[in-house]
């Protein structure tokens, strides 16, 4: 019955982890090329106040309130960063630092102030997620994949991240040319009639949605790691954007699968009894991949 | 209650925390300024997240050696070592690969943090029954702060502050003009590294109180806040220290008044409040000052254009212009120009003629570049030059009918 156990305990987290990794890595390619990599960092910090406020407003842990709260917080953060940058004439990095630390602090304070002891909402959860707990109880084996009753009990996170991934892919596929042009030469893109500002904002919103959906399942550590590490490693492998995208998807999948397996079984191989954090392990593996490409990849040096 | 807290009357522990947080704030604010002026504020984010695996490893090593894993100096030494490793990774990635600094920062902070989480889960399983409590380093905790902890904070903060003040000249030089600094004999890479080492020291010292996610705020926010008030680097450093200390002290005092007010977030939010106030009301760079400046300029333009139109016999219909002209006494209620208005208009037209002459003149033409259409000519030309220009234009002539 290894099949049944695998279907029930390992397949959903593996799929969720992989889809989350790809959904973050895809917009990450453009963020890294546009030198906006740390937008991902800022977004993943402000997700916490977003879900806390959503919880306080609705009084329960619901999927949609949390998603909306987190997305709203991400938009507010992006707006605030831009506002501080323009009004205060502060450089982008410092504006980001001011915004996300203050919003994160606000989130922690609200969390301490409100009574969340009855629900599963804490900072640790926000940071590491709980990938391991996303199990599919009804699965009895491979045949469950065709059984509508069993399929209905799949973790809702899986549906959500799948929908998000499809949306991200569609966004990049549909706006491929304008995205590519405006990433490499914004002035030329404007001259060609591409609304570069709106496109940039749309990219950030897409990244934020991916971050929010992924965060819900896997915590914010993976989100930042997947925004940056696979695209950065892919950048060192090739000089062509199309190839870079494929490399980043491959690296994201590799990190998710290898990280999950190492976290689940690595300690057992080493003689331990308990597994370690899958989210942390996935981030670590993506870092190893980046380290390897930084040392050996064909296009690691600026030409 | 709050007054007691602010006056350090809340008991021994609260007093310790307040003084410790204040000294940390001063040191972090002053040190963070150099980072901010170098436009590398977010490197501190990578450094602070990179402390986590070091804390976990230090705990494991101390337990393996048979000691108490929670010995603070040991944990801090471990965090410093892994922060150093993270910093070296950022530097290496930026210098030896084509990745930009922001990608390097993001990669290092997420990977080190992820590795730290892995180590923390290992610790949780290894020492089940013995709660390690290392999670307090994420968000900081001041509960049960000992006199020795406060002393560590005060001494560490003072040392870093002293070093930062000692090194302020080369650090400022590198921040403003790295090329010049290099030719003047200041090694840019070494100075950058020293700045980062100071930031690292502050991060390690501050981990206990505000935690590794929010220590970044103490390094960045006071410096950005101070920048609004002055254009001189030394004053920015001093003011940032002041704002940082204020945030630390007030935050710790306020959080002592109620159990559900965690110290770290309160300190950060006080710092942010100081930032917002400065952003709005600071003279010069503040939003309010900029709005007032814009309004003054707008009025001058309206007055000037209105007067020129009136002097040339054209009526003015624009409401704001009319109102401004009337308030200055240049326009009567029935929209006829007054004598004062005529005099002012004549002066404006004469200055305009003077500018034209300046532009035609070979020697003075470069000065005309400073005219934005509203510049007072007497502020650009000397009295002698003005006299020369007036001689060329000729004196006022009678108007031929």
Which pLDDT tens digit goes with each residue over B101-115? 999 999 999 999 999
Which residue matches tokens 């060329």?
A: B392
- Give me the residue spans of the domains in chain A: 2-221
The CATH class of the A2-221 domain is mainly alpha
Instruction: Enumerate residues 15 to 44 of chain A having a beta carbon within 8 A of any beta carbon in chain B.
Output: 32, 35-38, 40-41
First to last CA, chain A: 54
Three-state secondary-structure class, residue B166 = helix
Task: Give the pLDDT score at B35.
Answer: 92
**Across the interface, do A263 and B118 touch by the CB < 8 Å criterion?**
yes
Cα distance from A64 to chain B (closest Cα, Å)? 27
Q: pLDDT per residue over B47-64, tens digit each?
A: 999 999 999 999 889 888
3.40.50.300, 1.10.3470.10, 3.30.428.10, 3.40.50.10320: which CATH number matches B2-281? 1.10.3470.10
Residue B165 CA to residue A237 CA, distance in Å, equals 44
Q: What angle do CA A23, A24, A26 make, to 5 degrees?
A: 70
- The arithmetic mean of pLDDT across residues B171-185, rounded, is 90
Looking from the CA of A52 toward its CB, the CA atoms found within 13 Å total 24
Average pLDDT, chain B: 86
Q: Report chain B residues whose CB lies below 8 A from the CB of A290.
A: 107, 111
Three-state secondary-structure class, residue B331 = strand
**Across the interface, do A97 and B227 touch by the CB < 8 Å criterion?**
no
Task: Give the pLDDT score at A1.
Answer: 43
Task: Give the pLDDT score at B123.
Answer: 84
Asked if residue B5 has pLDDT above 90, the reply is no
Q: pLDDT per residue over A220-254, tens digit each?
A: 778 889 999 999 999 999 999 999 999 999 999 99
The residue among A39, A90, A248 with the most chain B CBs within 10 A of its CB, best to mutate, is A90
Q: What does the buried/exposed string (b/e) look like for A162-171 if buried means 16 or more CB atoms within 10 Å of the residue's CB?
A: bebbeebeeb
Confidence of residue B1 (pLDDT cuts 50, 70, 90): low
Polymer length of chain A: 303
**Across the interface, do B117 and A102 touch by the CB < 8 Å criterion?**
no
Which residue matches tokens 């029954």?
A: B129
Asked if residue B322 has pLDDT above 90, the reply is no
- The arithmetic mean of pLDDT across residues B141-149, rounded, is 73
Report the residue of chain B nearest A41, measured CA to CA.
B106
Query: Contact, A21 vs A223, CB < 8 A?
Result: no
**Across the interface, do B113 and A283 touch by the CB < 8 Å criterion?**
yes
Distance of CA A119 to the CA centre of its chain: 24
Query: Contact, B389 vs B361, CB < 8 A?
Result: yes
Structure tokens at A89: 């004439």
What is the C-alpha R_g of chain A? 20
Q: Report chain B residues whose CB lies below 8 A from the CB of A106.
A: 265, 269
ipTM here? 0.90
Three-state secondary-structure class, residue B362 = coil
**Across the interface, do B100 and A93 touch by the CB < 8 Å criterion?**
no
The residue among B103, B290, B291 with the most chain A CBs within 10 A of its CB, best to mutate, is B103
- Whether A120 and chain B come into contact, CB under 8 Å, resolves to no
Q: What is the DSSP letter of B287?
A: H
Q: Give residues with Cβ within 8 angstroms of A6, minimum separation 6.
A: none
- Whether B46 and chain A come into contact, CB under 8 Å, resolves to no
- Give me the residue spans of the domains in chain B: 2-281, 289-393
Q: Which of B275, B273, B262 is nearest to B221 (CA)?
A: B275
Q: pLDDT per residue over B277-314, tens digit each?
A: 999 999 888 899 999 999 999 999 998 888 888 888 88
Whole-prediction pTM: 0.86
Low-confidence stretches of chain A (pLDDT beneath 50): 1
Alpha helices in A154-277, H assignment, sequence order: 156-174, 176-184, 186-191, 196-218, 220-235, 241-269
Nearest beta carbon to residue A38 from set B98, B106, B265: B106
Q: What is the DSSP letter of A118?
A: T
Residue A276 CA to residue A257 CA, distance in Å, equals 15
Query: Contact, B70 vs B58, CB < 8 A?
Result: no
Alpha helices in B228-262, H assignment, sequence order: 233-255
Task: Give the pLDDT score at A118.
Answer: 56
Cα dihedral B28, B31, B34, B40, rounded to 10, equals: -50
Structure tokens at B185: 């004999």
């Amino acid at each position: 019955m290894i099949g049944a156990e695998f279907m029930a305990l390992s397949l959903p987290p593996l799929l969720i982890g992989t889809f989350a990794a790809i959904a973050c890595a895809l917009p990450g390619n453009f963020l890294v090329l546009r030198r906006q990599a740390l937008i991902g960092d800022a977004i993943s910090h402000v997700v916490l106040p977003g879900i806390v406020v959503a919880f306080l407003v609705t009084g329960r842990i619901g999927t949609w309130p949390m998603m909306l709260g987190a997305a709203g917080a991400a938009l507010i953060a992006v707006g605030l960063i831009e506002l501080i940058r323009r009004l205060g004439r502060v450089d982008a990095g410092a504006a980001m630092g001011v915004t996300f630390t203050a919003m994160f602090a606000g989130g922690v304070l609200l969390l301490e102030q409100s009574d969340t002891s009855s629900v599963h909402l804490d900072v640790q959860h926000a940071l590491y997620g709980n990938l391991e707990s996303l199990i599919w109880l009804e699965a009895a084996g491979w045949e469950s994949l065709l059984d509508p009753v069993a399929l209905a009990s799949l973790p809702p996170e899986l549906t959500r991240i799948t929908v998000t991934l499809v949306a991200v892919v569609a966004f990049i596929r549909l706006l491929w040319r304008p995205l590519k042009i405006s990433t490499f030469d914004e002035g030329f893109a404007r001259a060609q009639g591409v609304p570069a500002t709106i496109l940039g904002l749309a990219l950030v919103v897409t990244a934020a949605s991916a971050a929010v959906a992924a965060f819900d399942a896997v915590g914010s550590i993976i989100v930042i790691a997947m925004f940056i590490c696979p695209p950065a490693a892919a950048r060192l492998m090739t000089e062509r954007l199309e190839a870079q995208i494929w490399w980043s998807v491959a690296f994201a999948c590799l990190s998710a699968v290898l990280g999950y397996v190492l976290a689940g079984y690595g300690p057992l191989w080493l003689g331990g009894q308990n597994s370690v954090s899958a989210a942390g392990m996935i981030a670590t593996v993506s870092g190893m991949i980046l380290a390897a490409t930084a040392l050996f990849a064909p296009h690691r040096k600026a030409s | 209650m709050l007054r007691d807290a602010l006056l350090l009357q809340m008991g021994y522990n609260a007093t310790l925390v307040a003084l410790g947080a204040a000294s940390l704030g001063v040191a972090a604010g002053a040190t963070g300024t150099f980072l901010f002026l170098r436009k590398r504020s977010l490197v501190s984010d990578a450094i602070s997240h990179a402390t986590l695996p070091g804390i976990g490893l230090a705990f494991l090593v101390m337990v393996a050696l048979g000691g108490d894993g929670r010995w603070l100096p040991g944990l801090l030494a471990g965090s410093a070592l892994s922060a150093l490793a993270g910093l070296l990774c950022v530097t290496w990635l930026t210098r030896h690969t084509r990745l930009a600094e922001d990608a390097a920062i993001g990669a290092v902070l997420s990977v080190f943090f992820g590795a730290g989480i892995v180590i923390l889960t290992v610790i949780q399983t290894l020492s089940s029954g013995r709660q390690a409590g290392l999670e307090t380093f994420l968000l900081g905790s001041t509960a049960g702060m000992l006199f020795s902890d406060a002393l560590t904070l005060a001494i560490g903060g003072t040392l870093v502050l002293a070093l930062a003040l000692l090194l302020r000249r080369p650090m400022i030089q590198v921040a403003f003009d790295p090329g010049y600094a290099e030719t003047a004999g200041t090694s840019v890479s070494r100075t950058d590294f020293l700045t980062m080492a100071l930031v690292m020291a502050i991060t390690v010292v501050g981990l206990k109180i505000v935690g590794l996610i929010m220590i970044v705020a103490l390094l960045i926010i006071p410096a950005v806040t101070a920048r609004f008030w002055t254009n001189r680097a030394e004053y920015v450093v001093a003011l940032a220290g002041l704002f940082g200390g204020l945030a630390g002290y007030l935050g710790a005092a306020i959080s002592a008044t109620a159990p559900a007010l965690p110290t770290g977030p309160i300190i950060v939010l006080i710092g942010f409040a100081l930032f917002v106030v400065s952003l709005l009301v600071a003279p010069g760079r503040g939003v309010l000052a900029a709005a007032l400046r814009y309004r003054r300029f707008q009025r001058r333009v309206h007055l000037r254009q209105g007067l020129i139109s009136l002097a040339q016999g054209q009526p003015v219909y624009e409401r704001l212009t009319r109102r401004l002209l009337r308030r200055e006494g240049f326009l009567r209620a029935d929209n006829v120009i007054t004598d004062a208005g005529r005099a002012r208009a004549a002066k404006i037209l004469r200055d305009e003629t003077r500018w034209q002459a300046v532009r035609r003149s070979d020697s003075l033409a470069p000065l005309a570049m400073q005219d934005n259409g509203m510049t007072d000519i007497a502020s650009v030309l000397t009295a002698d030059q003005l006299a020369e220009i007036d001689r060329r234009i000729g004196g006022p002539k009678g108007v031929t009918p």
